[in-house]
Amino acid sequence: MTRWYGSVQNRIEEGRQLVPQIEVGTDITMYLWSDRTCYYVTEVTDQKHIKVRPYRVIADRSKTGGMGHQNWLYFKTNADADAYLKQYFPDHVDCGFEQPEESWAFRYGNWYHEWVYTAEDLPNVKDWMTEKEVQKLMNGKTVTKYSALSGRVSIGVRNYHYDWEF
């Protein structure tokens, strides 16, 4: 039995793949409890291994009526978003950094974060890795770990939503 959580709309929408092939620039929507956040593909190794980066989403200040679901602008870089904000807020302080790329892998019917560790990472990870994994790193091999994404995703969809009720 499937356990439902969050908004019914998000549960209905999640998990769809609307593009036959994932390519660089393909949009992705991640469905959280009742919010949705958006990503775009920056690199495709194969159809089961991709790199993504989150959009920086800002309310469209040129439209009246507040920040409704139709009034969002999507920026691929923080520099572009900061330049836009300076038009409306001259004293705006630049973010100063870009969101890092995330590696995702499709496994067991879902998308997961993919973390690849090398010998360089050994000082930071040896306390929580198994002895076998630490030995692999010491021998110059890599260790790959996976963790579940915060929510389910739809490929080929860019549908940001912020639930103001929470």
Contact criterion met (CB below 8 Å) for 93 and 85: no
User: For residue 17, what is the DSSP state?
Assistant: B
Torsions phi, psi of 83, nearest 5? -60, -40
The domain limits of the chain are 8-102
Ranking 11-15, 26-30, 120-124, 130-134 by mean pLDDT, the lowest is 11-15
Please report the pLDDT score of residue 138 as a whole number.
93
CA distance linking residue 56 with residue 65, whole number of Å: 21
Which pLDDT score is estimated for 136?
94
Q: Quick one: what percent of the chain has pLDDT higher than 90?
A: 50
**With contact defined as beta carbons under 8 Å apart, do 116 and 133 qualify?**
no
pTM of the predicted model as reported, rounded to 2 decimal places: 0.81
Tens-digit pLDDT profile for residues 19-71: 789 999 999 999 888 888 999 999 999 999 999 999 999 888 877 766 666 68
Q: What is the mean pLDDT of the chain?
A: 86
pLDDT band at 7 (very low <50, low <70, confident <90, very high): low
- pLDDT at position 16 is 62
Grade residue 92 by pLDDT with cuts at 50, 70 and 90.
confident
Question: With 60 as the cut, is the pLDDT of residue 90 above it?
Answer: yes
Q: Report the distance separating Cα 133 and Cα 116, nearest Å.
A: 12
Residue pair 2/21 in contact (Cβ under 8 Å)? The answer is: no
Interacting residues of 154 by C-beta distance below 8 A, sequence separation 6+: 13, 14, 15, 16, 17, 18, 28, 29, 31
